[in-house]
Structure 1
Amino acid sequence: MDFRLRSLAPAPPTPHTAQDIRELVEQVLGLDALPPVVQAGHPVLRQHAAPYDGQLDDATLNELIDVMRRTMHDAPGVGLAAPQIGIPLQLAVLEDQFDVDPAAAAARERVPLDFFAMLNPVYAPIGSDTASFYEGCLSVRGYQAVVTRHRQVALYYLRPDGSAARAEFSGWQARIVQHETDHLHGALYLDRAETRSLAGNEEYAARWAQPGISQAQAELGFPTG
């Protein structure tokens, strides 16, 4: 089942300067608890985050990555972008070690993803295959919707040590990579979603939490490609 891959409208660049970003990071690192995950409607989620170009020293960057990883685990989620904790910087952390139903894992090509942090990521499709599944977001609490994404992507990014990297991802790992990269470009998964598929978490769990989406597509009436 092949759905249309929805393109994104350009997002305005963040107005925050390097000094602003440093101050925001200091505020987050100075909290006595993990930072809250900002929700849809906050402007930071709708701005093109600043490319990382050394705004933070190495120790501060690594401390921020650690806080983001712990925030992601606490949520819990499989990825977290810096804008989701109010910092308009092109940085995201990713990790998927959840134990999921074998049938769902097979249908979604979901295998464990080891932790890594990426700066200034850009992805490109490998081939023309797409995959469509329900997807959620820590910044759109309480809802899920079907999103079509590239099945395989090549990711180009910087590691925290400043070295350039290229990696290939497929299946659910590719979905996580695309979701988090989109965050850094001012996009939410809802921008790519089949809106008729939108479901609250309770309805999703009760009706549509199958490995695939065919039943939801038939009963909710969102179109095939």
Structure 2
Amino acid sequence: MTEVLQIVQLGHEILRSIASPVENISDPTLQKLIDALIHTAKTANGVGIAAPQVAQSYRLFIVASRPNSRYPDAPEMEPTAMINPVIVDVYNEQVKGWEGCLSVSGFRGLVPRYQTIKVEYQDREGKLHSQVFSDFVARIIQHELDHLDGLVFLDRLESTQDLYTEQEYEQILKEAS
């Protein structure tokens, strides 16, 4: 049975540290971590999770977009491990969109991100991918990549007026529907 990992919260020093590159993708410990990250994200209703969020300093994150209670309009995709990811190109301007974080409980923010990005990464088998992502999935990738660089979404806010409690965010969604 795959373990649900403890998600560290804002204030934990690893969230402000630059993660180390993954050297040995085939290491069974790393493969087990990938499975545990996928399971942890799903259990926590996350659409992504980075290794530093579970106190592991690796340049690794999972993108697992799917509709859930935290992101009801998220597109469906298979959970994807991105190892040693790098954004190699950005397209279009930045647009603001809602973000929350499993490591910053109770808050949502309107965060500017590039709408379309090109990312190079290795998958869990070590195969190199170069792929273009847009909209919500591009937002997830930029958010998770920030975790690998010691940043959280709060660092990207243009103003504290773009920060809302989870309750305020839910009220805004209710009024919009």
TM-score by length of 1: 0.71
Partner of 1:35: 5
Pairwise mapping of residues 62-211 of structure 1 onto structure 2 (< 5 A)? 62-98=31-67, 105=73, 110-194=74-158, 195-207=160-172
Q: Are the structure 2 counterparts of residues 42 and 91 from structure 1 closer, same or farther at C-alpha, using a change threshold of 3 Å?
A: same
Partner of 2:30: 61
Aligned length: 173
Please identify which structure carries the higher strand content: 2
Partner of 2:14: 44
Residue segments in structure 1 that go unaligned for 5+ positions in a row? 1-31, 212-225
The answer as to whether partners of 1:49 and 1:186 remain within 8 angstroms in 2 is yes
CA distances 1:118-169 after superposition (whole Å, capped 9, x unpaired): 1111114432322211210000000001100000000111112222111110
- What's the Cα RMSD here? 2.2
Residue segments in structure 2 that go unaligned for 5+ positions in a row? none
**1:208: Cα distance to partner?**
5.3
Q: Are the structure 2 counterparts of residues 118 and 208 from structure 1 closer, same or farther at C-alpha, using a change threshold of 3 Å?
A: same
**1:44: Cα distance to partner?**
0.3
Structure having the higher Rg: 1
Q: Kindly provide the amino acid, as one letter, of the partner of residue 44 in structure 1.
A: I
Q: Distance in 2 between matches of 1:183 and 1:209?
A: 30
TM-score by length of 2: 0.89
The answer as to whether partners of 1:113 and 1:173 remain within 8 angstroms in 2 is no
**1:50: Cα distance to partner?**
0.2
**1:99: Cα distance to partner?**
5.7
Deviates more, 1:189-198 or 1:142-151: 189-198
